[in-house]
């Protein structure tokens, strides 16, 4: 059944009882191996529902489960698969009562959590102060990092947010209030899903029950898990019972340090799980030898490298290309040309991807692709869920689901004409949104619907509209989630037309949301699904109706993890972009950026094009002089470039010393002469 596998892969698949660590290099058949192991476990008698497969995204989980199914096992649908957060959510709805969690909690995403922080920041008087206090996103980031790393607040601030060190007292105060507020409102944030899962797994009352649920636990992308997740894993497989844990990872591909992920989890696995078997997969089945050589050269310069050599198994001799472009426009042009040339050779658009460090790096290219009628789908960057009008609609649903959700109230009330933050706050006080769960939880909403409320004159009409919309959605039996959204849309349409531009496109987004909602049977499930598995691409929203259509893939490098394409185009490989100048604070951060480039390069099977613009007209931070030239990524020094076919821009030669001698600079010098007296 698994005769295609090499001996190391076979060993991993056939491994019996006890902990197993698979160190799997890029392109070494890791996904296939893990899928085959799942199939093999079932074949050897493990019931599918007793297998827990933890992956980095739901997409990865689906992919692995369906591959296992193709390997001959029919029952894989009952395997527990998903991200740590999604599985935590599921387990807590089932067993949370033991911890005092009612199963009707709602889940806050990162932005929601930050909004709660902002409310508290105001309430505690940190907004109107001469001295500046960390902003809501910073607070949320510090909080999450502290929790996920399991480190003390002061240590985290000292190490990662030294400029906030003077404010630690205030931060602590906000964090205490934040925790309290979440408990009052029956909401959990992403971190809580893990924290409570860990509590469930390690508590004497529930721990053994939980540990008995699963015979085998498999974790993919283990290099990108954090301390909290490692604790959960250990809690689920305590030393007292059978420790059937399989983890797969590659320390060279660890790129989620900002989520407190640590390669320590891989390195220390044998200590936490003694008697662990270790298997290394070092044969690369993906890339041609020149692409692999270039990738290896990049990662070889990392001082913190784990000993491992990837050996090519495929033929091919075309060197990867490094193309210096004059500017962003030429870069976009070069990418479009290269993409179409490959398309002419018979490589579908779908088999090609453009990868970049940050979601906005593809802005220019997207315009150019649209102009040339090259269809594309973009992954990464949570655009849809971040859009204001989508949040507006979801906030309405969340009020209905959880009337104590003050962030949603605050947002929705301010949609009304004449309602600003101050009036919204006053009304929320009148509705007693914030009085905690001491009394009947539904009352702020029923109060809003049934009792007269004091609002600014101009807002009376809006209040009436909102009342009507919320009131009509109250009866969930009569109206499924999609129907509720449709009703809310009649309220939101005029609001959107008044508040935002491009109203028509935004209304269409709401229709997409309804389509998405029609797959959920309940409002609660819809809201949870959306926060735990947000649409990861524009294509997700349009649905997959045009499967016959061909389109180019655009993706952040982070979202490209685990994927591969025939041809990969890496853009903006300039210093300041890769590494991002936001991430050059210390050596660890810089090394993570190096691994990021490594991940990008190793996605390619047959063709690899790396480009960077030599000039940015909208200059990136850190490049003080807008006329100065950007350098190629520091991870591509001369001896690495020997593995590339290096191409210079078509138009202008660039001086080696980087001095600005372009026509533009000459003009500036001329003008400077005129201004001189």
Q: What part of residues 329-358 is at the interface with DNA (CB under 7 A)?
A: 357-358
Distance CA 106, CA 187 (A): 5
| 439 is a site residue for DNA (CB under 7 A) | no
| 422 is a site residue for DNA (CB under 7 A) | yes
Which positions ≥6 away from 292 have C-beta within 8 Å?
A: 284, 310, 312, 602
Judged by beta carbon, residue 503 or residue 661, the one nearer DNA is 503
Closest to 528 in 3D by CA, of 481, 469, 492, 582: 481
Q: Which parts of 57-177 are beta strand (E)?
A: 80-82, 106-108
Which positions ≥6 away from 418 have C-beta within 8 Å?
A: 455, 456, 457, 458, 459, 462
Buried b (16+ CB within 10 A) or exposed e, 651-670: eeebeeeeebebeeeeeeee
- The 254-273 contact track toward DNA, x by CB under 7 A, reads --x-xx--------------
Judged by beta carbon, residue 101 or residue 530, the one nearer DNA is 530
| 2 is a site residue for DNA (CB under 7 A) | no
Cβ atoms within 10 Å, residue 358? 17
Q: For 229, what's the count of Cα atoms within 13 Å in the CB-facing half-sphere?
A: 30
For residue 169, give both structure tokens: 């007292």
Pick from 15, 323, 389, 594: which binds DNA (CB under 7 A)? 389
Do residues 557 and 600 touch, judged by C-beta distance below 8 A?
A: yes
Do residues 225 and 219 touch, judged by C-beta distance below 8 A?
A: yes
| 196 is a site residue for DNA (CB under 7 A) | no
Distance CA 355, CA 353 (A): 6
Which own/partner contact pairs does 467-475 have at CB distance under 8 Å and 24+ positions apart? 469/396, 470/396, 470/399, 470/400, 470/445, 473/396, 473/397, 473/400, 474/400, 474/445, 474/449
| 173 is a site residue for DNA (CB under 7 A) | no
Choose the binding region for DNA from 108-116, 264-272, 289-297, 433-441 (rule: CB under 7 A): 108-116
Judged by beta carbon, residue 532 or residue 636, the one nearer DNA is 532
Peptide bond into 404 cis (omega under 30): no
Residues in contact with DNA, total (CB under 7 A)? 59
Distance CA 655, CA 343 (A): 35
Pick from 533, 540, 566, 668: which binds DNA (CB under 7 A)? 533
For residue 621, give both structure tokens: 């931070």
Do residues 387 and 534 touch, judged by C-beta distance below 8 A?
A: no
For residue 619, give both structure tokens: 């200059």
Choose the binding region for DNA from 39-47, 329-337, 563-571, 577-585 (rule: CB under 7 A): 577-585
| 136 is a site residue for DNA (CB under 7 A) | yes
| 421 is a site residue for DNA (CB under 7 A) | yes
Pick from 177, 382, 479, 482: which binds DNA (CB under 7 A)? 382
Q: What is the smallest separation between the CB atom of 113 and DNA, expressed in angstroms? A: 8
| 559 is a site residue for DNA (CB under 7 A) | yes
Judged by beta carbon, residue 57 or residue 352, the one nearer DNA is 57
Report DSSP letters for 403-442, one per residue: TT-HHHHHHHHTTSTT--HHHHHHHHHHHTTTSTTSS-TT
Pick from 31, 83, 206, 287: which binds DNA (CB under 7 A)? 83
Judged by beta carbon, residue 114 or residue 473, the one nearer DNA is 114
Q: Using the structure block, give the residue that is written with the tokens 């197993």.
A: 20
Q: What is the smallest separation between the CB atom of 579 and DNA, expressed in angstroms? A: 7
Judged by beta carbon, residue 8 or residue 591, the one nearer DNA is 591
Judged by beta carbon, residue 357 or residue 398, the one nearer DNA is 357
| 63 is a site residue for DNA (CB under 7 A) | no
Q: What is the smallest separation between the CB atom of 424 and DNA, expressed in angstroms? A: 7
Distance CA 604, CA 522 (A): 41
Pick from 105, 143, 190, 491: which binds DNA (CB under 7 A)? 190
Choose the binding region for DNA from 5-13, 199-207, 472-480, 579-587 (rule: CB under 7 A): 579-587
- The 608-647 contact track toward DNA, x by CB under 7 A, reads -------------x--------------------------
For residue 523, give both structure tokens: 């409002």
Q: What is the smallest separation between the CB atom of 170 and DNA, expressed in angstroms? A: 14
β-strands 321-327, 311-312 pairing: unpaired
Choose the binding region for DNA from 81-89, 235-243, 278-286, 664-672 (rule: CB under 7 A): 81-89
Pick from 15, 30, 37, 85: which binds DNA (CB under 7 A)? 85
R_g of the chain, CA atoms, integer Å: 27
Judged by beta carbon, residue 327 or residue 509, the one nearer DNA is 509
Q: In this structure, is the dihedral angle defined by the CA atoms of residues 286, 291, 295 and 300, taken in order, positive or negative?
A: positive
Interface residues toward DNA, by CB under 7 A: 56-57, 83-86, 109-111, 118, 127, 132, 135-137, 141, 144, 148, 190-191, 256, 258-259, 357-360, 379-382, 386-389, 391, 417-424, 456, 500, 532-534, 536, 556, 558-559, 580, 582-583, 589, 593, 621
């Amino acid at each position: 059944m698994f005769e295609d596998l090499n001996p190391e892969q076979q060993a991993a698949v056939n491994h019996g009882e006890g902990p197993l660590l698979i160190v799997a290099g890029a392109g070494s058949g890791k996904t296939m191996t893990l899928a085959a192991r799942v199939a093999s476990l079932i074949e050897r008698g493990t019931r599918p529902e007793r297998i827990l497969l933890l992956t980095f995204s739901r997409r990865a989980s689906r992919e692995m489960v369906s591959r296992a199914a193709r390997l001959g096992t029919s029952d894989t649908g009952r395997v527990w698969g998903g991200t740590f957060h999604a599985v935590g959510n599921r387990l807590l709805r089932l067993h949370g009562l033991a911890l005092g969690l009612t199963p009707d909690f709602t889940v806050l995403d990162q932005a929601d959590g930050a909004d709660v922080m902002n409310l508290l920041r105001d309430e505690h008087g940190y907004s109107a102060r001469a001295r500046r206090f960390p902003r809501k996103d910073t607070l949320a980031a510090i909080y999450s990092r502290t929790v996920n790393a399991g480190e003390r607040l002061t240590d985290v601030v000292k190490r990662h947010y030294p400029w906030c060190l003077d404010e630690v007292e205030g931060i602590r105060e906000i964090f205490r209030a934040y925790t309290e507020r979440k408990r009052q409102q029956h909401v959990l944030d992403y971190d809580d899903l893990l924290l409570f899962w860990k509590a469930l797994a390690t508590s004497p009352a529930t721990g053994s029950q939980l540990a008995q649920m699963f015979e085998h636990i498999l974790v993919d992308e283990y290099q990108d898990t954090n301390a909290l997740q490692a604790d959960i894993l250990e809690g689920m497989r305590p030393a007292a019972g059978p420790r059937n844990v399989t983890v797969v990872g590659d320390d060279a591909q660890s790129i989620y340090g900002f989520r407190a992920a640590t390669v320590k989890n891989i390195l220390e696995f044998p200590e936490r799980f003694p008697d662990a078997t270790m298997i290394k997969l070092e044969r690369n089945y993906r890339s041609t030898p020149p692409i692999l050589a270039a990738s290896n050269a990049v990662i070889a310069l990392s001082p913190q490298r784990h000993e491992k050599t990837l050996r090519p198994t495929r033929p091919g001799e075309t060197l990867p290309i490094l193309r210096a472009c004059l500017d962003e426009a030429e870069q976009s042009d070069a990418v479009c040309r290269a993409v179409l040339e490959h398309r002419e050779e018979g490589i579908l658009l779908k088999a090609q991807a453009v990868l970049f460090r940050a979601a906005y790096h593809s802005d220019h290219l997207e315009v150019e692709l649209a102009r040339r009628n090259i269809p594309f789908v973009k992954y990464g960057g949570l655009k849809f869920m971040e859009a204001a009008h989508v949040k507006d609609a979801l906030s309405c649903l969340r009020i209905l689901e959880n009337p104590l959700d003050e962030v949603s109230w605050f947002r929705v009330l301010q949609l009304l004409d004449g309602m600003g933050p101050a009036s919204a706050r006053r009304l929320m006080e009148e509705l007693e949104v914030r009085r905690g769960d001491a009394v009947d939880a539904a009352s702020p909403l029923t109060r809003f619907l049934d009792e007269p409320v004091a609002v600014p004159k101009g807002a009376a009409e809006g209040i009436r509209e909102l009342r009507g919309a919320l009131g009509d959605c109250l009866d969930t039996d009569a109206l499924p989630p999609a129907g509720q959204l449709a009703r809310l849309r009649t309220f939101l349409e005029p609001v959107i037309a008044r508040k935002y531009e491009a109203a028509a496109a935004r209304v269409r987004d709401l229709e997409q949301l309804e389509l998405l909602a029609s797959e959920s049977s309940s409002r609660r499930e819809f809201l949870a699904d959306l926060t735990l598995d947000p649409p990861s691409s524009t294509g997700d929203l349009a649905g997959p109706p045009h499967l016959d259509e061909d389109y180019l893939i655009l993706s952040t490098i982070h979202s490209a993890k685990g994927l591969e394409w025939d041809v990969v185009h890496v853009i903006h490989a300039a210093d300041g972009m890769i590494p991002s100048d936001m991430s050059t604070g210390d050596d660890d951060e810089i090394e993570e950026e190096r691994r990021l480039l490594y991940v990008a390069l190793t996605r390619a099977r047959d063709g690899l094009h790396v480009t960077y613009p030599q000039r940015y007209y909208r200059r990136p931070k850190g490049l003080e002089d807008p006329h100065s030239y950007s350098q190629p990524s520091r991870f591509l020094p001369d001896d690495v470039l020997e593995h590339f076919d290096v191409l210079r821009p078509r138009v202008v030669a660039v001086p080696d010393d980087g001095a600005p001698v372009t026509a533009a600079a000459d003009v500036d010098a001329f003008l400077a002469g005129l201004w001189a007296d």
